[in-house]
Structure 1
C-alpha cells in the first residue's frame, strides 16, 4: 500500500547514493580520540587550554553519535544480513547503542569536572577515557569487518544476495 511512497533502492540497496553512517561515525571516532589525546597531553604538560579543546570534542562526539546511530540503524535495516554477517552486525549495533550512552555519560561527567575544577583533570577520568578509546577501537574493527570482510552494501554482495547466492 505504501510501497510507492518509498524511494527505490539502488545497487547498494539504499535509497540514497551511498552509505552515510561511515561518514558521520568517523566524526565520532575522530572527536573521541582527539579529546583523549588533548586530555593526556594537557595532563602531562600542564597546558590547561587543551582541556577546553577536549571538552568541545566530546560535545561534538555526543551529538554526532546519535546521528551516526540513526543512519546506522537505517542502513543495517536495509543491509542484506546473510547468516555469516548477522552476529557481527548485532554486536556492532549493541555496542553502538551502548557507546551513545557511555559517551553521553562521560561528557556529562566532563561537564561537572569543567564546572568545578576547569584547570585539573582527575586521573580516574583519564582511565575511563582510555577504556572508551579501547571500546571505540573494537567498534571500528567490527565496522571494518562488516564492510571489508562481509561486504555490506557493496554492489557485489547486494547482487549476490539478489541472485540467491548468499
Structure 2
C-alpha cells in the first residue's frame, strides 16, 4: 500500500506541506462562529443569526471528516516521539469525538430548525458549549504537537531519520 504513495519529502509527507491544519482551521472557525452566533442570537433576539449558525455548523461537519482523513494520514507519517505520542493519540481521539458531536448537533439543529427556526432549546445550547470547549482543547493539543514537538518540521524529521529521537 505504501508503494502507491510518492516518495516522502523533507517533512516526511508525500505532498508539499501538511494539509490537515489548512482544512482544520476552517472547521475551527466555522464551529466556533456557529456557537458565537447562537449565543448572540439568543441574547439579542436576532433570529437571523440562527440561520447563519446552522450553515456554518453544516459546513464544519462536512469539513471535519476531510480534516480527519488528512490528519490520520499525516499522523501515521509523523514519527511522534516521547510524550508527543500520547498527545497525538489524545488529539486523534478528541478529533473523532468532535466529528460525532458536530454530527449530532447538525442533526439536532436540522430537526429544531424544522419545528421552530426562531428558538433553540437549552439542552442544545449546553452541547453547543461543549463543542466550543472541545474545539479549544483540540487547538491547544494541535498547537502543542507543532510548536512544542515540531511534528512534520524539517529539523524534527531529520532528527528522527538519523535515529536521534525515540
Deviations 1:79-98 (A, max 9, x none): 11123311000000011011
Deviations 1:33-53 (A, max 9, x none): 100111111111111110000
Alignment of 1:82-121 (within 5 A): 82-121=81-120
Alignment of 1:18-97 (within 5 A): 18-97=17-96
Listed as ranges, the gaps of 5+ residues in structure 2 are: none
How many pairs are equivalent?
A: 165
The range that moved more, 83-92 or 18-27, is 83-92
Q: TM-score, normalised by structure 1?
A: 0.96
SS in 2 for 1:93: helix
Structure 2 CA distance, aligned partners of 1:47 and 1:123?
Answer: 17
Cα distance, 1:2 vs structure 2: 6.6
Q: What is the aligned-residue RMSD (CA, Å)?
A: 1.2
Deviations 1:52-83 (A, max 9, x none): 00000000000000000000001001111123
User: Where does residue 142 of structure 1 map in the other structure?
Assistant: 141
1:57–1:2 CA distance, 2 compared to 1 (3 A): closer
User: Where does residue 157 of structure 1 map in the other structure?
Assistant: 156
Structure 1 CA distance, aligned partners of 2:2 and 2:129?
Answer: 47
Q: TM-score, normalised by structure 2?
A: 0.96
1:163–1:67 CA distance, 2 compared to 1 (3 A): same
Following TM superposition, where does structure 1 have runs of at least 4 consecutive aligned residues deviating by more than 4 angstroms? none
Cα distance, 1:164 vs structure 2: 1.1
Structure 1 CA distance, aligned partners of 2:37 and 2:65?
Answer: 23
Structure 1 CA distance, aligned partners of 2:131 and 2:58?
Answer: 15
SS in 2 for 1:120: coil
